[in-house]
Amino acid sequence: MHQALPHLGAANPHALSSFLQASDACPIIASEDICDDRGVKLWARNQPVSHELQQRLLDRKLRQPLEACLRAPDGVNSTDLVTATRRLFDPSGALSHALSPWADELVAEVARLPLHPVVQLLLTALRNSRTEAFEHAIVTMALAGAVYLHAGSDRYELRMAMLAGLVHDVGDLYVDPALLAPEHALTPAGFRHVVIHPRIGEMLLTRLTDHPVALSRAVGEHHERGNGMGYPLRARHLSWLGCRLSAMDTLAGVLDGGHDNAWEHGSLALRLIPGEFDAVAISFTSQVARRMRGHMPNSAAVDASATWERSQQLAAHIAGCTLAAERLADASAPGRVQDNARQAAMLLTQLTQAGHELGVWAPRELLGQEFTELHVANQEIQFRLRAIQRITTWLDVGLLPHEDQALAQLWVGAAPAAVHAFS
C-alpha cells in the first residue's frame, strides 16, 4: 500500500506558497475566475495572486484545479531555457567539456521545446522558489538530450527526452520543502511524503496538459529502477523514456553533489548493479567519463587503510542483513513482512554480487587510483544499502507497528544515505 496522491480539487499548500513566492519576481494571474465546488467566486479573472487568495483557498474544494486557473505570462520561456542551457557550456560551466560534442544541437533543440501554460507556471514557480531544483532540471534536460543524440535517436524522441528531463521534478513543488533540505533527517513518514513526488508530477502532466502520455509516464518512473530498487511503485518494467530519464536524473544528482571525479563516480553509480539502469545510458556515461579524465582536477588523497576497512565493514554488514532477511522471509511472519523481507534478501544478494564483480571485497593489495575507485564504490554501496532499507521498510504505509518493528531489525546499524539519495 502506497501513500495517497493529493487531490487536485483542493489547493496544495506547498505549491501555493511556491506560486506566491514566485509572484514576487514574476506576476502570476488568474486566467479565469477561481470558484469553489459550489460555484462561489473566490478570485476574479486577471487578478494577480496574493496572500489574500491563500487565505480564501484554505479548506475549500475547487471547481477546477488551481494550476489550470493560473498563468505566468512573463514566466519561464524558451529564451530563458536557452540562456540557462548556454551557461552549462560556458568555460566554467558544469557540462562545458563533458557535453561539448552535442552543445550546439542541444541549445538549438531547447528553443523548440513546447511549453504548455501549466508547465510554464510550474517551471516559473520552481525557478523562483527552489533555485537548485530548477538548475538540476536544466542539467537533467541537457543530459537526457545528450544521451539521445549519442544513441542517434530521431528528433521527436530527442525533444521528448529533453522535455521529460526539464519537468521531471515539478512534483517537488507539492512536497514540504523542509523534507527536501539536505540537512533534514528523514523519518519513515517523511520518506513516504517525499517519494510520491514522481507520481504527483505524472498526475499533473496527465490531467492538466496535452503532452504525450509517454512523457507523463516517464516522469512518474524517474526514481524507479529496472531491478525493483526504486520508488514509489518498485516497478521493474519501465518505459524506454523512463529508463533513460531515471539514469540521467541519477547522473545529474551525482554531478550536483560536487564529487571529485564526478563523471567517474556517475559511471560507477550507473553500472554498479546489472539491470538497474539502461544500457545505452551506461554506455554514454562511461564514454564521457573516459573523455573527461584529462579535464577533471585530481581527487583528494584517500586514506587507504580506512577505505579498505570500510569496504570490509560493508561486506560483513550486508552479509548479516542478507541472512536476517532470508530467515525472516522463511519465518511464520505476516505475509507483508515476508514479502518485504524476501525482496530485501534478493536486492542485498544483487548488491553482494555487484561488489564481487567489481572486486571491491577481494583480498588483494591496491594502489593509488584503485583505492580512489574503492572509495567511490564504498559510497555507492552504502547508498544502495540505505535505499534497500527504505524501500523495503518505510515505503509500505499499510504495515502495522509490530510488522514495522520486525523489518527494522534487519537494518540495525545501517549506514547513512549518500549525497544523491533524493536528487
pLDDT attached to residue 416: 43
Domain's final residue, options 37, 71, 105: 71
Residues 51-57, mean pLDDT to the nearest whole number: 93
The DSSP secondary-structure symbol of 398 reads T
Q: What is the DSSP letter of 42?
A: E
Domain of 61? 13-71
Q: Does 85 reside within a domain?
A: yes
Q: Are residues 140 and 66 in the same domain?
A: no
Residues 285 and 327 in one domain: no
Question: Has this prediction a pTM greater than 0.85?
Answer: yes
Q: How many CA atoms lie within 13 A of 117 on its CB side?
A: 13
Q: Quick one: pLDDT at residue 369?
A: 58
Same domain, 342 and 383: yes
The per-residue pLDDT for range 155-207, each reduced to its tens digit, is 999 999 999 999 999 999 999 999 988 778 888 889 989 999 999 999 999 99
In the block, cell 506558497 appears at 17
Grid cell digits, residue 222: 524517474
Q: Is 116 exposed, middle or buried (0-12, 13-18, 19+ CB in 10 A)?
A: middle
Q: Is residue 345 part of a domain?
A: yes
- Residue 359: which residues within 8 A CB-CB, separation 6 or more? none
213: in domain: yes
Report CA dihedral (383, 386, 390, 391) to the nearest 10 degrees.
60
407 and 328 within one domain: yes
177 and 257 share one domain = yes
Final residue of a structural domain among 71, 86, 103: 71
Tens-digit pLDDT profile for residues 300-338: 666 777 888 888 889 999 999 999 999 999 887 778 889
Which has the higher per-residue pLDDT, 218 or 262? 218
CB 223 within 8 A of CB 232: yes
- pLDDT for the residue 419: 40
Q: Binning pLDDT at 50, 70 and 90, where does residue 423 land?
A: very low
Looking up residue 95, the CATH number of its domain turns out to be 1.10.3210.10
Does residue 78 have a pLDDT over 90? Answer: yes
Supply the pLDDT for residue 403. 86
Residue 297 lies in a domain: no
Are 178 and 317 found together in one domain? Answer: no
Same domain, residue pair 63 and 198: no
Residues 83 and 174 in one domain: yes
pLDDT of residue 295: 64
In a domain, 122, yes or no: yes
Q: Which of 6-20, 99-113, 225-239, 297-311 has the lowest mean pLDDT?
A: 297-311
Same domain for 313 and 275, yes or no, is no
Report yes or no: 387 and 394 within 8 Å, Cβ to Cβ: no
- Does some domain include residue 417? no
- Which residue in 172, 169, 161 sits closest to 239, CA to CA? 161
Tell me: do 115 and 176 sit in the same domain. Answer: yes
Taking Cα atoms as reference points, which of 92, 99, 85 lies closest to residue 288?
99
CB 33: neighbour CB atoms within 10 A?
Answer: 16
3 in a domain, yes or no?
Answer: no
pLDDT (tens digit, 9 = 90+) per residue, 356-375?
A: 887 777 655 555 556 677 88
Give the mean pLDDT of the chain: 89
In the chain, % of residues over pLDDT 70: 91
Q: Is the C-alpha dihedral spanning 246, 275, 2, 417 positive or negative?
A: negative
What's the CA dihedral at 9, 14, 15, 19 to 10 degrees? 130
Backbone angles phi, psi at 346, to 5 degrees: -65, -45
Mean pLDDT (whole number) for 232-252: 93
Averaged pLDDT, 229-235: 86
In a domain, 423, yes or no: no
- Distant-in-sequence contacts of 53-56, Cβ < 8 A, 24+ apart: 53/20, 54/16, 54/17, 54/20
Domain match, 180 and 96 both:
yes
Total domains present in the chain: 3
In a shared domain, residues 106 and 227: yes
Task: Pick the last residue of a domain from 263, 292, 321.
Answer: 292
> What secondary structure letter does DSSP report for 23?
H
Tell me the three cell numbers of residue 57: 483557498
Long-range Cβ contacts of 85-90 (<8 Å, 24+ apart): 85/110, 85/138, 85/141, 85/142, 88/138, 88/139, 88/142
